Amino acid sequence: MELWKLPAHSLHKLLVGGEVTAQEITSAFLQRLREVEPQLQAFITVTEELALEQAQEIDRRREKGEELPPLAGIPFALKDNISVRGIPTTCGSKMLENYIPVYDATIYKRLREAGSVLVGKTNMDEFAMGSSTEFSAFHVTRNPWNLERVPGGSSGGSAAAIAAGAANFALGTDTGGSIRQPAAFCGIVGIKPTYGRVSRYGVIPFASSLDQAGPMARTVTDAALVLNVISGHDQRDSTALKEPVPDYTSYLVPDVAGLKIGVPKEYFGEGIAPEVGAAIWEGIRLLEKLGARVEEFSLQTASHCLSAYYIIAPAEASSNLACYDGIRYGYRADVDDLLGMYTKSRRVLGSEVRRRIMLGTYALSAGYYDAYYHKAQQARTLIRQEFKEAFEKYDVLITPTTPNVAFALGAMVDDLLAMYLSDVCTLAANLAGLPAISLPCGFSQGMPIGMQILGKPFAEGKILQVAYTFEQETEYHKEFPPVSKGVM
Amino acid sequence: MQELEPVIGLEIHVELMTKTKLFCGCSVGFGAEPNSQTCPVCLGHPGSLPVLNKQAVEYAVKAGLALNCRIASTCKFDRKQYFYPDMSKNYQISQYDQPLCGEGYVDLEVDGKKKRIRIKRAHLEEDAGKLVHGSTAGGDVSLVDYNRSGVPLLEIVTEPDISSPAEARLFLTKLRNIIQYTGVSDCRMEEGSLRCDANISLRPRGTTELGTKTEIKNLNSFRAVERALAYEIERQTKVLAAGERVIQETRHWDEQAEVTRGMRSKEEAHDYRYFPDPNLLPLLVDQGWVERIRATLPELPDARKRRFMEELGLSDYDAEVLVAAKDVADYYEEVLKYYGDAKMAVNWVMVELMGLLRKEGLEITACPVSAENLGKLLVLQEKGTISGKMAKDIFAEMFSTGQDPETIVKEKGLSQISDAGVLAGLVDKVLAANPESVAAYRGGKDRALGYLVGQVMKETRGQANPQLVNQLLRERLDQPE
Amino acid sequence: MILDRKQVEEIAFLARLELTEEEKEEYAAQLSAILSHVAKLQELDTTGVPPTVHILPVSNVLREDEPGESLPVELALANAPEKAEGCFVVPRILEE
């Protein structure tokens, strides 16, 4: 039995039934991790010893007859911008290469309370700025479906690790698509929850009004189980709302009868690969066949999302990243004047990070604030308004997650705008704070295609139900990547 | 040349006396070991997030109300961005275009006339850490202590309504007084819980257009504010007289040299790039909340002064002096709980007590004589138990030993005469000398007894035990002749 | 180009970033390209539209004034590249 291929709920049954131990489960995933890691390079830190200790603890609890929660003993990975006390948390940056958090992120704490087992911290674009994980300061992560392609980003390490079975689930963070895009590129499920659903405490920020951490898993059910654990109010995060957390698994009922699906035309136009558009429409038709009602409509503001995003996100980032000055933590250049200490220490930030800091600094600077930042926040109001109106008519919206399948390594590094455009389908959910899920809905060039389902705020249950229904009717999620060079 | 008049505005930072910091649970005590009152939030560790302290909001509103400010029904927090090692995030969470407290005012009395200094705004913000100079093996360095990072401050900004250095000092004194009355800050400049920057420009008297201003920093006392402003008036006057222009800049007050110095300007080219902090949600203070806070406001100095004059009959001067120091006025009112003569009490507090405190360099809060004991002393004097002269001696003794007046009266041999044998002779003498009173008492006038007791007390210079005297007198008087 | 070299230098100073001469040219070009793309936003009529200050319909998230735990000093300083006397060390800052 290949334990690493099983979903969490199956592993849970085996564990509570006494058929396997948590240590056996963890060992199976660690062995798989060691097998694929040389090709994938999905991790920055592997916490093997810690994982085995945590697994042992679960076994002790089970032996004592304790009732184990659903994710107890299940191995997971964390994107390396999620703080774990005592474990290096680099954010994919040389700046934080030696940074060891003195506190735990709330979401890590919650997963530990649920008994899950940390196997490692995954690679990412530096400070989550990028769409391919090629902007990690440490190494490039490869797509397990084709090692010559990118896994997407910025949560590319998490996506590659889960697709290849190096962990059962992972947490990523999503500022403009950084969970959903790599999930789509690697053929797994990724959820960006409603802004305010999941605590950001201890998650190293990129853009604070857009960031949200969320689950990445092989199945909708596993993603729902993870969402159950990480959701909810946190008194350390003013924006983690008190909205009650339902049992998301209660939405896992295959039923879309009468569901109103809105399909925004703008997400199927220019720049969207025809095979991708076709696969999404095929998925939509399947849901229609199952009883959903489908209607195309127009989102006028769609073409402005990218612009608004590329002002707001860098503006917030320029401020969030000011703390990296070489004084309290992080890299410090050996210079004996104050200005030099700042500029030489911050030189260690990668070119894309510095570029976005520059962009954001400019957008907030005297004389340009109104034309850029203020204007973008006004656009954001209109974008939110238009989604609000759409959700008065539709229960969910369906779009492609990405305009195309995973691109080749190196293809976009010199064409920034093209890379930014790969987030064009996912940005809106962040700007409007909406929940969105990406799940596999087909293949093109041997690479997975992702379908994105958006819901109204706090309607995670609804999008999970639609995704689950789709998943039950399709086989895409049952495929495992070859972890080899594909046939291009 | 035309006569110039100074136009002065002040920016005052007041530290709010919460138990914890503005955005995290770290304590705010003064003088703790460096960096012992820090956590991921106030150290700006990646991923940490601020959560607003409710008490700080309520204190800020309370101070705002005391300064007659309009309290904003909705406000927000913004990031003020600049790099400096004492700033743990390299931005300060402050309030930019929507301060918690809007326009208000403080009324002063200048040359016998009322002068209103308008408050432009007062907003909440976090304090920065502290930089001190030190040295390591590598040479001279600066050391950063973030204990103060995140301590709640209320920044109060006045309109440029102040017309002289003396007026600036008067305003600060009054402002401090008002804030101290509210109890939201102790306003100790030496501990940094009150800080002040001053803006000053000159213009031809009688005109309304503002001249180019300079901002003076590093003002460590009210005296420094006054001196620095006086210096700056002189300096700017000379600049203008020479036909030159005043440069808009920040100038540092050099306490030793008693001059202001311009600061290098490159670091000064600030562009704070304010924008709303996405980590903090808007703050709405509705009327109900404002009224609940208003209800906790104590009587403020102006109202107290009026009450002292109208109800206790104090002079304008006495009332003003008392009220100007809340602790002194509180002490005074405490004395009145034990002793009823308000005017006598004010003399004692202002002359005897303050005199000794000044001589010893003590604050009234550290006064060795409790208000209760002073009250008791005054009662002893009023009853004639001790003379005024004795009261002063005893008071001096109370001040140096902290003892209560009764104990001192006893120990200093000022104790009452309780020997019946000694008193009997005196009683007989008094009875013999006052036949009318004796007759009156025997005729049923009990009041006459009091007079006779007084006479015996007088004979003993107040030292006789009044109860015993009373008893002895009754025994004699009630005997059949 | 929307941004010239001098502006790039000014922005870099505000952000405390050091750029080589080539980087200045490169950033001026790249940032200008991005800015001209986002300039599309100017086409959007936002007259009278309030900016989004926060996307959550919530206000007054407050904590009680109750002391929480502070870090032990050695942990507060654990990540400091340079420390002395229980403090973070920075280059000597000249008297202002």
Residues A407 and A378 in one domain: no
pLDDT surpassing 70 at residue B416: no
Nearest CA of chain B to the CA of A236: how many Å? 6
ipTM confidence score: 0.97
Q: Each residue of B353-385: pLDDT tens digit? A: 999 999 988 889 889 999 999 999 999 888 767
Nearest CA of chain B to the CA of A366: how many Å? 6
Split at pLDDT 50, 70, 90, the class of A94 is very high
The answer to whether A337 faces chain B, any CB pair under 8 Å, is no
The answer to whether A325 faces chain B, any CB pair under 8 Å, is yes
pLDDT surpassing 50 at residue B78: yes
Hey, of C6, C83, C93, which one would you mutate to test binding to chain B, going by the most B CBs within 10 A of its CB? C93
pLDDT of the residue at B441: 87
The closest of A99, A100, A120 to A43, measured between CA atoms, is A120
Query: CA-to-CA distance for A180 and C91, rounded, in angstroms?
Result: 44
Nearest CA of chain A to the CA of C61: how many Å? 6
Residues A358 and A214 in one domain: no
Q: Each residue of C72-92: pLDDT tens digit? A: 999 999 999 999 999 999 999
A212 SS3 class: strand
The vertex-B230 CA angle with B258 and B227, nearest 5°, equals 45
Query: CA-to-CA distance for A243 and A226, rounded, in angstroms?
Result: 17
Q: What percent of chain B has pLDDT over 70?
A: 96
Q: Is A224 inside any structural domain?
A: yes
The closest of B324, B330, B396, B393 to B360, measured between CA atoms, is B396
Nearest CA of chain C to the CA of A269: how many Å? 18
Between B417 and B273, name the one with better pLDDT: B273
Q: Do the Cβ atoms of C52 and A377 come within 8 Å?
A: yes
Q: What percent of chain B has pLDDT over 90?
A: 69
What separation in angstroms does the CA of C74 have from each of B54, B176, B258, B460?
30, 38, 41, 71
pLDDT of the residue at B138: 74
Query: Domain count of chain A?
Result: 2
Q: What is the pTM of this model?
A: 0.91
pLDDT surpassing 70 at residue A486: no
Query: CA-to-CA distance for B181 and B177, rounded, in angstroms?
Result: 6
Split at pLDDT 50, 70, 90, the class of A488 is very low
Split at pLDDT 50, 70, 90, the class of A485 is confident
pLDDT of the residue at A197: 98
Q: Is A92 inside any structural domain?
A: yes
Split at pLDDT 50, 70, 90, the class of A305 is very high
Residues A377 and A448 in one domain: no
Q: Each residue of A4-58: pLDDT tens digit? A: 999 999 999 999 999 999 999 999 999 999 999 999 999 999 999 999 999 999 9
Q: Do the Cβ atoms of C81 and A358 come within 8 Å?
A: no
- For residues A62 and A15, the answer to whether their CB atoms sit within 8 Å is yes
Instruction: Kindly report the number of other CB atoms within 10 A of residue B5's CB atom.
Output: 17
The closest of C79, C72, A102 to B33, measured between CA atoms, is C72
pLDDT surpassing 90 at residue A78: yes
Residues A87 and A210 in one domain: yes
Split at pLDDT 50, 70, 90, the class of A487 is low
Split at pLDDT 50, 70, 90, the class of B300 is very high
Q: Domain ranges for chain B, please list them.
A: 4-292, 301-412, 420-477
Residues in a beta bridge with A293: A260
C82 SS3 class: coil
- For residues B198 and B219, the answer to whether their CB atoms sit within 8 Å is yes
Split at pLDDT 50, 70, 90, the class of B345 is very high
Q: Is A265 a catalytic residue?
A: no
Q: Is A392 inside any structural domain?
A: no
Query: Which CATH number fits the domain that encloses residue A13?
Result: 3.90.1300.10
DSSP strand E in C1-96: where?
62-63, 83-84, 87-91
Residues A22 and A138 in one domain: yes
Residues A329 and A412 in one domain: no
Split at pLDDT 50, 70, 90, the class of C96 is very low
Q: Do the Cβ atoms of B284 and C60 come within 8 Å?
A: yes
Nearest to A338 among C18, C58, C90 (CB): C90
The vertex-A246 CA angle with A241 and A252, nearest 5°, equals 135
User: Which one from A79, A109, A192, A456 is the annotated catalytic residue?
Assistant: A79
Nearest to B27 among C53, C70, C92 (CB): C70
User: Given A382, A411, A429, which residue is the final one in a domain?
Assistant: A382
- Specify the amino acid at residue B464: A
The answer to whether A374 faces chain B, any CB pair under 8 Å, is no
- C5-42 under CATH 2.60.40, yes or no: no
Tell which phi-psi region holds residue B245, choosing left (phi > 0), alpha (psi between -120 and 50) or beta: beta
Sequential DSSP letters for A340-389: HHHHHHHTTS-HHHHHHHHHHHHHHSTTTTIIIIIHHHHHHHHHHHHHHH
Residues A349 and A474 in one domain: no
What separation in angstroms does the CA of C12 have from each of A343, B212, B316, C42?
9, 30, 61, 25
**Which residue do the tokens 């991923």 mark?**
B47
Radius of gyration, CA atoms only, chain B: 31
Task: Please count the CA atoms within 13 angstroms of the CA of A67 that sit on its side-chain side.
Answer: 1
Q: Per-residue pLDDT averaged across B240-248, rounded?
A: 92
Could you tell me which chains touch chain A, where touching means 3 or more CB pairs under 8 A?
Answer: B, C
Between B446 and A279, name the one with better pLDDT: A279
Burial status of residue A274 (CB atoms within 10 A of its CB: 0-12, 13-18, 19 or more):
exposed
Backbone angles phi, psi at B431, to 5 degrees: -65, -40
User: Given A354, A382, A410, which residue is the final one in a domain?
Assistant: A382
How would CATH label the architecture of B420-477? Orthogonal Bundle (1.10)
- Which residues does B379 contact at the CB level (< 8 Å), separation at least 6? B338, B339
Nearest to A238 among B85, B271, B280 (CB): B280
- Specify the amino acid at residue B459: E
Domain that holds residue A352: 302-382
Walk across the sheet containing A189-192 and list its strands: A43-46, A117-122, A75-79, A169-174, A212-217, A189-192, A436-444, A447-454, A396-400, A260-264, A293-297
**Which positions in chain C touch B273 (Cβ < 8 Å)?**
14
pLDDT surpassing 90 at residue B468: no
The closest of A156, A218, A161, A211 to A185, measured between CA atoms, is A156
Residues A347 and A436 in one domain: no
**Which positions in chain A touch B46 (Cβ < 8 Å)?**
83, 89, 91, 96, 99, 101, 204-205, 323, 329
- For residues A176 and A158, the answer to whether their CB atoms sit within 8 Å is no
The closest of B52, B101, B93 to B73, measured between CA atoms, is B101
Q: Is A297 inside any structural domain?
A: no
Tell which phi-psi region holds residue B461, choosing left (phi > 0), alpha (psi between -120 and 50) or beta: left
Which run of H or of E encompasses A14? helix A8-16
Between B153 and B360, name the one with better pLDDT: B153
Q: Domain ranges for chain C, please list them.
A: 5-42
Q: Each residue of B162-188: pLDDT tens digit? A: 999 999 999 999 999 999 999 999 999
User: Which one from A93, A131, A136, A154 is the annotated catalytic residue?
Assistant: A154
Q: Is A369 inside any structural domain?
A: yes
